[in-house]
Amino acid sequence: MEHARIDITPGLDGEAVVLAVFDLGEEEISASAYAVQIITTERYRNVEMSIDDVLEFRELTALADELADHSIQQGMRTIVMRPSRLNAWRDALTHFVESRDDAEWTREDDRKSLPAARALLWPLGDLCADAMRAALNPPTSKPL
């Protein structure tokens, strides 16, 4: 993860819009897309879902699709995410890494994606914390 920053801009109604902006390489994007898709499949495969589960499932599916779209293009990509999606991504990567570390065996695709996913955990955690702080304490806007 390169050039990570928090961007706070005024929305249409004057409220602060908090976005995390960062650059990812091909390997990081591919590993993230794979990890999010696998965790989504494992978590919701054969379970009865509550409304909260359905909302989380939709968010993770959209995130996996977004990352997969970015993985098609080569080179570094600039990614922009709201704090909620950023946290969903961090949670999915954390679960992916922890579940593979605890497993007695892993699939070949898991082993290929694991190093890049693991390397993203620390900077992603820091970026999530910065995004949450910015979202909870946005700068006050001046009245016009």
Distance, CA of 21 to CA of 127 (rounded, Å): 9
Whether residue 99 lies inside any domain: the answer is yes
In a domain, 54, yes or no: yes
Whether 115 is in a domain gets the answer yes
Show the domain range for 36: 25-74+84-136
Continuous segment of H or E residues that includes residue 88: helix 83-102
- For 118-142, the DSSP string reads HHHHHHHHHHHHHHHHHHHSPPPPP
Domain count, the chain: 1
Is 18 part of any domain? no
State the Cα–Cα distance between residues 3 and 102, nearest whole angstrom.
32
Taking alpha carbons only, the member of 28, 33, 24 closest to residue 4 is: 24
In a domain, 30, yes or no: yes
Instruction: Render pLDDT for 51-109 as a digit per residue (tens, 0 to 9).
Output: 888 888 888 889 888 888 887 777 788 899 999 999 999 999 999 999 888 877 778 88
For the full predicted model, state whether its pTM sits above 0.85: no
Q: Is residue 7 one of the residues assigned to a domain? A: no
**So what's the pLDDT on residue 141?**
53
For residue 25, how many other CB atoms are within 10 A of its CB? 15
Residue 102 backbone phi and psi in degrees, to 5: -85, -15
The reply to whether 144 falls in a domain is no
User: Stretch 27-54: mean pLDDT, rounded?
Assistant: 87
Asked if residue 104 belongs to a domain, the reply is: yes
